[in-house]
Amino acid sequence: MFTFETADQKEVRRFRIAQFNGRTATVKSGGSTVTGHVRSVLESKSSGPQRWTITIIPSPPKHDVSRPAAPRVHSFAEDFY
C-alpha cells in the first residue's frame, strides 16, 4: 500500500471520484509514479490547515499484448461487384 498526505482539495476530489467509480488513480510523489485503486481518503482533524491522508493499493503494470496480424477476410459478396 502507498500512503501519502496532501492539502490540495482538487486532488482529494479526484481521488474520491476514482474511489467511488472503482477506477485507478495515478500519483506522482517525489521521483516515483504509483498507479492503483484508492482504498481510503481520510481527513486529518488534528492539523491546522485541512489535510487528507490517501491510501492507494498499487496495481500491477499492464503487459503489452502484441498479437500477430490476422489475415484480412472479405465477404464473397465483394467478389461480385
CA pair distance 76, 81, nearest whole angstrom: 10
- Identify the pLDDT of residue 70: 64
pLDDT at residue 76 in the model: 62
Could you list the pLDDT tens digit for every one of the 81 residues in the chain?
889 899 999 999 999 999 999 999 998 878 888 899 999 999 988 767 889 999 999 988 776 667 666 666 666 655 655
Between CA 22 and CA 4 the distance in angstroms is 19
Spacing of C-alpha 28 from chain mean position: 12
**Contact yes or no for 33/26 (Cβ under 8 A):** yes
Start-to-end CA distance of the chain, whole Å, equals 61
The pLDDT, as a whole number, for residue 11 is: 93
pLDDT, position 37: 94
Instruction: Look at residue 42 in the predicted model and tell me its pLDDT.
Output: 92
